[in-house]
Amino acid sequence: MGAQHVAVGELSAPYSLTASGSLASNKLARRFALRPAGTRFSSDFSLTWAVAFLALGACIAPWPSHGWLWFKLIVALVALLACYDALALWRTRHEGTPVLLSPEKGLRGREGQSIQVPLAITGSGRRHPGREIHAGIMPATQESESATRMKREPERLKLEESKPRTGESTATHRPQLHLWPWTPEITLLRRGLWPGPRVGIERRSPLGIWRLRQWFDSPEALRIDADLRPGRREMLRSPVYRLLVASQQTPWTGHGRDFERLREYQPGDNYSEIAWKSTARRAAPVTRLFQWEQKQEVYFVVDQSRASGLAVDPSSDPEGKSSQKGTPRRLLDLAMETALVGATVALELGDDFGLVTYADEPKSWLRAGAGQSQFHQFRERLLNIEPLPTTADYDALFGEIRVRLRRRAYLLLLADLTERSVSDSLRRGIGLVRSSHAVLMASILPSHARPAFSPAEQLHTEQDVYAALAGEKENQRLGALSRQLRQLNVQLRYVPAETFLRTAVEGYLESKREQRL
């Protein structure tokens, strides 16, 4: 960490903590020592200049009388000063080390957020770590480089001496620990649980001949959650969401499945609601009434096969998340955000919600439940989910769902269903659960699979015409698959990436409103 072109920051006067812990109740008293990760003791540029001047002196020494004697004395003096300077720096290697102040909620934040890491530089009253040090923060591992963005250049920090309070004796023999607070800022880019940032400290010797670099790893992990605010804002604009959440008095259409009571037939009742056996016994039409199910189960089925690792078209990213992260947004990230937003909606409506992730087979299960604790478990399961290098097998997925989920529930499948290789497996698997569950599917419509000669399309060459015809053919194939599944009472919607989240969650809300269960 060089000292050139760095920002200069003056730290405020330190907090003085005595060894007896008189300020143990202070927030800064709760601190965690960082783990040493490496040390490097090296020479500074001043030593190079000193050696250069000695070499010049060696060239001049033969000319004057007693020149070699004076040269040897100068060399001995320089060597003595260099050794003293190195020893003085090495004895202070345990001074000026960083500590992590106890954060209230740990090192955590959401994607796109900038947070401050609460650190402090420590020093005892016996040896001062130096009037000036260089401090920097960096990713701890190569994998975490894409998860955060931080200031690459180190900061030059000036440590001010603490002034004794009025009436306080300066001659005290009690050992003291000084803390100079330092809060570097980092920007969170990619969800997951990552190692805490690494802190580097560099200080020079009193004579400026040597410099000591030390690196420390944080004992606290850095947690980055997905940013759900854009998805929540999108759902607030949904009329179906507002109808179910803000207008609970609105009557629902459809049928419940919990029998409530019998009553006499009234004009307008559906023939399917008539209890024919009771009608025959009473010799008068009788209608069955069912209770509306306010609490139902919904499972979010998230694909993490190789197809989920494909990048979303940047032009269809309205929030610009890809540009913020510096890495393309994947289908898995969009599906995970949709599942989390859908879970918050289910939590508001009082439904039980669960999670299934799959690739070539089901990978993780979370039984449907309600409450904040269930949402925390739901979010934990999706925190570190990554695409797997396997192809989705829907026969295995729906076969396992049929065995495990006995109670009828909504299944909201979030996946890429445009590949030809999964169509047959998807149709076979749907046949296993279509009668026992209400299946909803949402898939991203590829940019090339659009109706031919659409108004926004401009064709200039023959290649453009052939590409438009190929997109029309692909659009027809996907439409045929959607119609085939609709005959099996399964909803499959191909939508652009910018409306994927809203369309998927609205499908669940519309099915709930219509009481498809």
Least confident of 175-189, 335-349, 482-496: 175-189
Mean pLDDT, the chain, integer? 81
Least confident of 2-16, 122-136, 351-365, 384-398: 2-16
What percentage of the chain reaches a pLDDT higher than 70?
81
- What is the pLDDT, as a whole number, of residue 245? 73
Predicted confidence band at 20 (pLDDT cuts at 50, 70, 90)? very low
- What is the pLDDT, as a whole number, of residue 33? 86
Does the pLDDT value for residue 414 go beyond 90?
Answer: yes
Does the pLDDT value for residue 417 go beyond 70?
Answer: yes
Closest CA to 415 of 387, 384, 438: 387
Does the pLDDT value for residue 288 go beyond 50?
Answer: yes
**Cα–Cα distance for residue pair 327/174, rounded to 1 Å:** 53
Amino acid 255 reads H
Predicted confidence band at 505 (pLDDT cuts at 50, 70, 90)? very high
- What tens digit of pLDDT does each residue of 349-379 get? 889 999 999 999 999 999 999 999 999 999 9
Q: How far is CA 235 from CA 230, 244, 322, 374, 418, in A?
A: 9, 12, 21, 21, 26
Predicted confidence band at 253 (pLDDT cuts at 50, 70, 90)? very low
- What is the pLDDT, as a whole number, of residue 462? 76
- What is the pLDDT, as a whole number, of residue 129? 52
Least confident of 49-58, 155-164, 200-209: 155-164
- What is the pLDDT, as a whole number, of residue 27? 47
- What tens digit of pLDDT does each residue of 181-239 get? 888 999 999 999 999 999 999 988 888 888 999 999 998 899 999 999 999 999 988 88
Name residue, tokens 């652009």.
Answer: 496
Q: Specify the pairing of strand 15-18 against strand 176-182.
A: antiparallel
- What is the pLDDT, as a whole number, of residue 225? 93
Higher pLDDT, 342 or 72: 342
Higher pLDDT, 255 or 141: 141
Q: What is the mean pLDDT of residues 55-76?
A: 82
Domains of the chain, CATH where assigned: 7-159+177-224 (2.60.40.10), 229-248+293-513 (3.40.50.410), 258-291 (no CATH)
Instruction: For residue 356, count CB atoms less than 10 angstroms from its CB and return exposed for 0-12, middle for 13-18, buried for 19 or more.
Output: buried
Does the pLDDT value for residue 8 go beyond 90?
Answer: no
Amino acid 159 reads L
Least confident of 176-190, 286-300, 495-509: 286-300
Higher pLDDT, 313 or 339: 339
Q: Specify the pairing of strand 438-444 against strand 410-414.
A: parallel
What percentage of the chain reaches a pLDDT higher than 90?
34
Report the predicted TM-score, pTM, of the whole model to 2 decimal places.
0.77
Name residue, tokens 């072109």.
Answer: 5
Burial code of 90-102, b = ≥16 C-beta within 10 A, e = fewer? eebbebbbbbbbe
Q: What is the mean pLDDT of residues 404-420?
A: 91
Contact 512, 244 (CB under 8 A): yes
- What is the pLDDT, as a whole number, of residue 317? 57
- What is the pLDDT, as a whole number, of residue 121? 87
- What is the pLDDT, as a whole number, of residue 24? 38
CB atoms within 10 A of CB 14: 21
Positive/negative CA dihedral, 14, 19, 24, 28: positive
